[in-house]
Amino acid sequence: MSDFILVLNCGSSSIKFALFDASAVPLPRKAAWSGKVDGIGGANTQFTEAGATAEAIVLGDAQPYHAALEHIRERVRLRLGGARLEAVAHRVVHGGAKYFSPIRIDASVLADLGSYIPLAPLHQPFALEAIAALLQSRPDLPQIACFDTAFHHTMPDVEKLLPLSFDAWQRGLRRYGFHGLSYEYQSIALAERWGDRARGRTICAHLGSGASLCAMAGLRSVATTMGFSALDGLMMGTRCGALDPGAVLYLMEIEKLSLHDVGQLLYHRSGLLGVSGVSADPRELLPKEAGDERVELALALYVRRIVREIGALVAVLGGLDLLVFTAGIGEHNAVIRERVCRALGWLGIGIEAAANAAHEARISTAESTVCVAVEPTNEEWIAARHALALLRTA
């Protein structure tokens, strides 16, 4: 009889899940079963499992997030049959200055992680809500937190330090970096696919609704674009990315926006959605840009910010051997990839149009001085792998 590890990735309105067969050696990279609940708290909540059509579900108004979690748990129980659930692994966005390795969660750890909610308000509270619910109902079931900030622990202090008074550093105000589970997977997959080239000067572009870049040397993080919070760096779907702090002071002092209003603006009404006024998704924006100047400008700014930040990381690395696109937009949007690479032509990058359109593993030409790759991410497998390793050494 197999044992399984359940991985949960909790966001504000969705819970993604994946079930991995922990008895298989090595741990399979493809989940035995996976899916998500979307639209939690809204009028159209759906449950989707891999290979099946989405189905509408009703969660009720009282505690829709708890109801969504319970719906997943019930489906997992049915899926397992008589098999044992060995542990639940959680993607936890922020580990702060204390947690650099996966850890089994108890009440004390949960309280610690709650102190980081202001640093990742779109993700942290919802992961912790799921953890707390499971701790209460299944205290016997091991729960493992895997941190998105942990992979960037290898960055030098000069990359972590904020240019504030030094006592801010001593209080824990620093650049942490995010999307670490995705970049950790890239450090494994790229070494397997590209060997020594991946161990050189690599930049990974995790482009999804949230987006960041990571510069790697020797497959370790040496710099990244997200910093103290998940607002920093690249322009994103609804988040602003790097912003002159004077603009925030202006909004609060001159336009009299409250702290809450500024938070809503920067996290939910900026980025592609804010500039275009239409959508946060490039798939919806690209067909509209020819007839809409704001949409055209939003996409141009989105690409420009990626190009600018890649240029900065190339300077930090002292050159570039491998450029990798990953996550939803990075893996599936050939137009965005082509525009970014065209603007980086000065690096000697050349793109093979047919390979790019087909989302092939290598999309650069034979003559390109930089290898450009597309590598699907697999954060869930990384979390399951960490959980399994922690349980086996406990």
DSSP letter assigned to residue 163: S
Contact 173, 167 (CB under 8 A): no
Nearest in space to 96 (alpha carbons), one of 71, 73, 76, 113: 113
Contact 237, 272 (CB under 8 A): yes
CA 365 to chain centre: 29
Is 140 known to be catalytic? no
The encoded tokens of residue 245 equal: 């702090």
- Quote the CA–CA distance of 237 and 329 in Å, as a whole number: 10
Length of the chain: 394
| Number of other CB atoms surrounding residue 255 within 10 Å | 9
DSSP letter assigned to residue 212: E
- Quote the CA–CA distance of 247 and 227 in Å, as a whole number: 18
The encoded tokens of residue 377 equal: 């991410």
* Catalytic residue (one of 148, 261, 292, 321): 148
- Quote the CA–CA distance of 145 and 134 in Å, as a whole number: 13
Please identify every residue annotated as catalytic.
148
